[in-house]
Amino acid sequence: MSVDNARPSMVQLIRPRRFGDSRGWFTETYNRETFAALGIDCTFVQDNHSLSAPAFTLRGLHFQTPPRGQDKLVRCVNGRIYDVAVDVRAGSPTYGQWVGAELSAENGHQLFIPVGFAHGFVTLEPDCEVTYKCSDTYAPAHDGGIRWESVGIDWPLPAGVTPELSEKDKVQPTLADFDSPFAYDGRPLTPLA
């Protein structure tokens, strides 16, 4: 398993190693000791799985507020997505900045998104399935988000295409109107290699 951006508890692109032969391949997608060595030392307590039928479905940008914040480990198990993390930690010198990576069933990459970052993705083809591990269970009273287009993310959408959105995501506040409850921990967001 290799990692880009091996700073403890920061957004990280993880590339699990695949072992293949004529039958297919095998990969280890999570190992607590391996992830702890990468600085990801949270305990995951909930797994989620979503299906987005239409291409260019956009989910996000979501988070849970303290004290029920969630670290997430995201991967695409069918299709391709563009996955994004946005720094929403108050006082961070990289507040409002984002990183993104293509995750696909083919490449097997995963994105680790710590507490203090909004998360979202857009599907790049029909019938995308995404799974993610969370470090806390869903807490509706702490559910939050910001509008997908308010951050300046370079979403890979074809010209003239408006993404499919949930009713909830259509009415999220903009980043400019968001009053962040997340504290900056002294580590600015760094680019994914």
State pLDDT tens for residues 105-130: 999 999 999 999 999 999 999 999 99
State pLDDT tens for residues 167-180: 999 999 999 999 99
Contact of 150 with 61, CB cutoff 8 Å: no
CA distances from 77 to 101, 125, 129 (A): 15, 13, 6
Measured CA to CA, the distance from residue 127 to residue 25 in angstroms comes to 22
Contact of 178 with 90, CB cutoff 8 Å: no
Domains within the chain, CATH numbers bracketed = 2-18+26-177 (2.60.120.10)
Which of the two residues, 5 and 121, has the higher pLDDT score? Answer: 121
Decide if pLDDT at 8 tops 50: no
State pLDDT tens for residues 43-77: 999 999 999 999 999 999 999 999 999 999 999 99
Decide if pLDDT at 2 tops 70: no
Is position 62 annotated as part of the catalytic site? yes
State pLDDT tens for residues 118-167: 999 999 999 999 999 999 999 999 999 999 999 999 999 999 999 999 99
CA 34 from chain center: how many Å?
Answer: 20
State pLDDT tens for residues 77-90: 999 999 999 999 99
User: What percent of the chain lies above the pLDDT cut of 90?
Assistant: 93
Specify burial of residue 23 (Cβ count, 10 A radius: 0-12, 13-18, 19+).
Answer: exposed
Q: Are strands 182-183 and 89-90 parallel, antiparallel or unpaired?
A: parallel
Given the residues 82, 95, 109, 132, the one annotated as active site: 132
Is position 119 annotated as part of the catalytic site? no
Predicted TM-score (pTM) of the model is 0.93
